[in-house]
Amino acid sequence: MTDDQQREFGRRVKEFRKRAGLDQQGLAGRLGKSASWVSQVERGAIPVKRLDALRALADQLGVALHQLEPSLPAAAPEELPSPSATNDLDGARLLISGHPALDVLLPGRGSEQDSAPSTADLARRVETVWDLAHQSAFVELTTNLQTLVPALERAARVATGDDRVTVLRLLARTYQALAAAFVRQDEADAAWIAADRAIRAAEASGQPLEVCAAIYRLVHAFVRLKHLDQAEYAARTAVQTLRDHIADRSPTPEEHSVLGSLHLVLALVHARAGRRSAAKAELDEARGVARELGADRNDFNLEFGPTNVEIQAVATAVDLGDAGEAIDIGESLNTEGLSAERQARLLMDLGRAYVQRRQAGEALDCLLRAEGLAPELLRTHVAARSAIRELVLLAGTAAPEELRALAERADAQDS
């Protein structure tokens, strides 16, 4: 971008900002930037080159990307995900609509239920649900939930003693899996409902750490909804309460896992708000907890530990636009001991970082490797599909066949 092009770009930004009824401070707040940054952009003093930054600016100004930067091709504006990428959890959405076991409260003629499944069978089925959630196998996940959730909800209302406690814990874990799945498919409103039900079931089971784990899922839903004030409040309150609880003793490994995970999700909140120093401070807190824990664990399906902290550090760096830092951290990690999902997530974020650096070959390699580990991840994860779309946009008519095929599989074509 030449100096003249920068100044012309700045004039367009200023014009669109005024049309949107925003002052420089208002636009800066929406972008997580300073008013000085907006002023410099409008004067043509600094360029805006990254596609993700251009998209964010266009979104906040309420214009199409090619209106803001005509040198880019006129692509379809951030279309909604195609039906094949959005309908996999429709059955699950219906499942959490209304009361989960109304027929138990208001039994009708001929409404006697079959004999309840054993808690061992229910536990096995919950493990299957989490495996499917980790694989982003959402069609199978929905199929399994169609019978599992009603069975758990009914059992929670008729079981007694230790069996009831066990069922409630299983119910909380199931709703957490569902919340995680909804977040990945950008169904944040449904994730909020599922996380809230997980919190209620966990509290009823007498498992406060399970409540905190469910709050972690709730925070992710708030982040996807861009309710960052709610996200920060929920996470910060849980962190402070848990730290007060363990202040006079050594935490258990489970407490370490939950505390560290809450610090990581706070780092995510701050990164999405553009609060660089706060995000890095939370990462440092999580690193300290991970050092005390000493190993990678999977308590409450949180997969917290030293390696996972650095995976989150990569994602945070990408969110903050620090692509070089993300690449330096990510390329040095050994993730062989983690689930395929976490390995794929790291590769996906490295791909996003390489896209920011406009290193198309490296980006495509990372995304293809991520697809090999977790095929459904790239088709269902909003950030992955956005990265692929930007790669296609960067490559234009010179896009290699591998990239075109990946974009087609992920429903991430721009045209």
| pLDDT tens digits for range 386-409 | 889 888 888 888 889 999 899 888
Q: Does residue 80 carry a pLDDT above 60?
A: no
Residue-wise pLDDT tens digits, 87-105: 478 888 888 988 888 888 8
Most confident option among 23-27, 67-71, 360-364: 360-364
Cα–Cα dist 188/90, whole Å:
13
- Please indicate whether the domains covering 3-68 and 226-338 agree at the CATH topology level: no
Residue-wise pLDDT tens digits, 258-292: 999 999 999 999 999 999 999 999 999 999 999 99
- To the nearest whole percent, how much of the chain has pLDDT over 90? 57
The reported pTM is 0.75
- Which pLDDT score, from 0 to 100, does residue 78 have? 39
Helix (H, G, I), strand (E, B) or coil at 67: helix
Between the alpha carbon of residue 319 and those of residues 117, 149, 258, 271, 326, the distances in Å are 45, 35, 23, 6, 10
Residue of 59, 71, 354, 384 lying closest to 226 (CA atoms)? 59
Tell me the pLDDT of the chain averaged across its residues: 88
CATH topology of domain 3-68: 434 Repressor (Amino-terminal Domain) (1.10.260)
Alpha helices by DSSP H, listed for 20-117, are: 24-31, 35-43, 51-61, 65-68, 83-86, 90-95, 102-105
Q: Does residue 84 carry a pLDDT above 50?
A: no
Exposed / middle / buried, residue 281 (Cβ in 10 Å: 0-12, 13-18, 19+) = middle
- Which pLDDT score, from 0 to 100, does residue 83 have? 36
Residue ranges of domains in the chain: 3-68, 86-98+115-224, 226-338, 345-415
Cα–Cα dist 201/389, whole Å:
40
Band the pLDDT of 39: cuts 50, 70, 90.
Answer: confident
Residue-wise pLDDT tens digits, 183-226: 988 899 999 999 999 999 999 999 999 999 999 999 999 999 99
Helix (H) or strand (E) holding 88: none
DSSP string over 365-388: HHHHHHHHH-HHHHHH-HHHHHHH
**CATH number among 3.30.420, 1.25.40, 1.20.81, 3.30.530, domain 226-338:** 1.25.40
